[in-house]
A and B are shown apart, each in its own frame.
Chain A
Amino acid sequence: MSDIKEQVRDFIIENFLFGEGGEDLKDDDSFLEKGIIDSTGVLELVEWLEETFDFKVEDEELVPENLDSVNNLEAFISKKQK
């Protein structure tokens, strides 16, 4: 597992699943469909991305294609870091 993916999984499990049920979270599970993240949760996620990876998430980037699964987040972070 890549470092980024591991960091993302840890953050989601710790902050939205409160350390429980992480083994059930698949990398392509939609946070929205699974009810993991709500509208304030996504703002927390954005804050964490900006602080941890030192980039700004633009308003137009606030879409499920970038943020709605572990895989999508990994791809989004990698793209932003290039």
Chain B
Amino acid sequence: MEPRLTYHMLQRAAKNHPDKTAILYKGTGTSYRELLDRAEKTAAFISSCGTLPGFRAGILSDDPVEYISSYFGIQMAGGVSVGLNTQTTPRSLSYHINDCQMDGLAVGKRFLRILKETFQDVPTLKFMVANSLEGFPSEKVNNSITFKDLWEYDSSALEPPFRSSCDLAQIIYTSGTTGKPKGVMLRHSNLLANTKSIVKYLGITGDDRVMAVLPFFYSYGNSIMLTHICQGATLVVNQNMVYPNVILKEMEDNEVTGFSGVPSTFAILLHRSNLHEFSFPKLRYITQAGAPMSPALAIRLKEAFPGVNIYIMYGQTEASARLSYLPPPDLLKKAGSIGIPIPGVELSLLDESGEKVPVGQTGEIVARGENIMAGYWNSPEETAKVLRPEGLRTGDLAWQDDDGYFYIVSRKSDMIKSGSHRIAPKEIEDVVMEHSEVSEAAVVGVEDDILGEAIWLFVVLKPGSNCKLQEIKKHCRRLLPAFKVPHKMVITEALPKTATGKIKKNDLKKQASERISNR
């Protein structure tokens, strides 16, 4: 039976391959039967807590079994899963809990400390799954359970409420140009359509074993999770690229067939690992999304992984993940391209008035397909800006060659892409401006070999201030998640501005590049 809801994919895989390993994490395997059982137990517990269909619940865990069973369990109980970035702060976590009015949370051990600091700012939750509630005010949680007890919970009476494929399955938060993260609302049908399409062009089967290094709370990681579960394949999980040799060893030991990364993943592998000492005879595909691959990197990657199909892909969270892919045979022939639309997606290049631009000229990528989001949570104005009659306005400017291949030129917004993260400069600038000694702040993305873009902060202090950079760093570290803390900070006398007072960010980028080349 074709899955109608996202969790039907897990049910189908568990029915067809109950004993197959779904997740391999830190040397321990979890079968599809066990994973479904845990998702059902999660759903049964949540259903006993008085939630109503359509409720939202957050997942903050870096344990893939906790994460994935909570993800499907929430949906099975009729809810909407909200995967939360594990690099978070109390302020950021409170924002997300309040913004989508969560009814409950599943929280891994490492994040209890952060959670404790949010409780004065959030409403009473209907449920919580956490290994310890020590230090939490009991009046803030109506029902709680540890993961250990949850895995023993009686789910025999579970009856998932009816949900339509048009109902929401998931909200993924993404940086917004206004500085406030936006919740991308994805229906079951959006996720299923994109999953089906990706499975088709990557040719994923139940025999695949993918090395999953990207976090599941981002849309790319989410799509890796869904596409492989859809096919009853195995996820070998280690979402930490800190020690690339450890990842390569896991890939070799587990004879993985697939590997997915963002540009920085591959830059780290090629620059700072012992890649040549490992062999991956079963590896058949590598995927990269997040940015086009430079021709130089494509050549090096092809040399490092001979005979492996390398797929460059493009997408947005607003499209459930994927919009286009570059077929592997075209990797060098069409170097720098993001390829052609994936099955079920139409891409066109339009000007501001909605007219198609001629071949070879630059226009904004506009996407149509079943994978396009329902909108931004609670933000009709923001939704109306991008979901237009002509399709999803991606904000990415591109041109198309005579063969129909797309090439991204630039983004309309000044959003920074650093590693796997999309970061709004304004969000960082707003936090820096909260410092009592700061008069002005500007944040720009500067080209970086490993990260794609490094975050540079330029600060002007108030007259007479003796504030040191270390204090600004501390301030950022306290209030911003780690991946948003600027990599480089500069105190300057003044910011370059236009006659109308707008900060010339390109000049700041140039200043940064000069500082790098003068090192």
Contacts and interface: CB of A to CB of B under 8 A. Distances in A.
B477 interface: yes
A64 B245 CA distance: 10
A39 B241 contact: yes
Contact of B243 (A18, A20, A42): A42
Contact of A38 (B242, B246, B470): B242
Contacts of A42: 242-243
Given A40-B487, A64-B246, A59 B273 contact: yes
Interface in A6-47: 14, 18-20, 31-33, 35, 37-43, 46
Contact of A60 (B268, B274, B450): B274
Interface residues of A, number: 23
Contact of B477 (A18, A38, A59): A18
Interface string B234-269: 000000111111100000000000000000100010
A70 to B, nearest CB: 16
A63 B264 contact: no
A43 B450 contact: yes
B136 interface: no
Contacts of B15: none
Contacts of A59: 245, 272-274
Nearest to A68: B243
Contacts of A67: 243
Contacts of B240: 32, 38-39
B245 A32 contact: no
B107 to A, nearest CB: 14
A42 B245 CA distance: 13
Interface residues on B, range: 20 to 34
A43 B245 contact: no
B2 interface: no
B242 A60 contact: no
Contacts of A37: 242
A62 B242 CA distance: 9
Contacts of B273: 59, 62
Nearest to A46: B272
Nearest to B277: A60
Interface in A52-68: 59-60, 62-64, 67-68
A27 B111 CA distance: 21
B244 A38 contact: no
B249 to A, nearest CB: 9
B245 A60 contact: yes
A63 B272 CA distance: 11
A38 B482 contact: yes
Interface string B467-511: 000100110011000110001000000000000000000000000
A32 B241 CA distance: 10
Given A35-B110, A59-B272, A40 B450 contact: yes
Contacts of A41: 242
A62 B474 contact: no
The 9 A-B pairs at the shortest CB distance, nearest first, are namely A39-B241, A18-B477, A60-B274, A18-B474, A59-B274, A42-B242, A39-B242, A63-B245, A18-B473
Given A20-B478, A39-B240, A68-B243, 10 more contacts: A18-B473, A20-B477, A32-B242, A33-B110, A38-B482, A39-B419, A59-B273, A60-B245, A62-B243, A64-B246
28 contacts: A18-B470, A18-B477, A19-B470, A20-B474, A20-B478, A31-B242, A32-B240, A32-B243, A35-B482, A38-B87, A38-B242, A39-B240, A39-B244, A39-B264, A39-B419, A40-B487, A41-B242, A42-B242, A43-B272, A59-B272, A59-B274, A60-B274, A60-B277, A62-B244, A62-B272, A63-B245, A63-B246, A67-B243
